[in-house]
Structure 1
Amino acid sequence: MLGDFNSTRQSEAYQLLNTTFQNAGETNLQSTYNDFSPDEKNHEEIDFIFTQKFHVEQFYVVTKTFDGLFASDHYPVVALLSL
């Protein structure tokens, strides 16, 4: 399950999901929300990939901009999973 949860790790929604699923980015502390700004003071980790019965091979946040512009106010999150 993945998506723009607009919830931090401290939120009730995250806590509920994390009791049943594993956060693929458990060790990731990188921001996934950029607010269309390079100023990191407003950045937060609010996008997650939750898995169950998969091994997380890789997890990363794509922070690339295009000519200095953000494609979205959220960075894409990517996970490589194996059974």
Structure 2
Amino acid sequence: MRGIKRVFLVLVVLLVVLAVLAFVLENQQGVALSFLGWTTGQWPVAVFVTLALIAGMLIGPVLVVLVGRKVRRKQPA
């Protein structure tokens, strides 16, 4: 059973890696973003999407912890 789980995990990781590789290879056209007067250079679309993903993965758990603390404080003890 342990070997089947390991093989399944390897296959899932391989599929994710292939999907990311396909995404990066399909999104090589250069774009420049402009936000609140700040403009970036010409970077591939995949770079911006990857940076947004990483930012969300960092900010999301922080917000969950902060909201969780507020909810626990409001509950009567």
TM-score using structure 2 length: 0.26
Compare the two structures and name the one with the higher strand fraction. 1
Compare the two structures and name the one with the higher helix fraction. 2
TM-score using structure 1 length: 0.25
Name the larger-Rg structure: 2
Q: Comparing both chains, which one has the higher relative contact order based on Cα–Cα distances under 8 Å and sequence gaps of 6 or more? A: 1
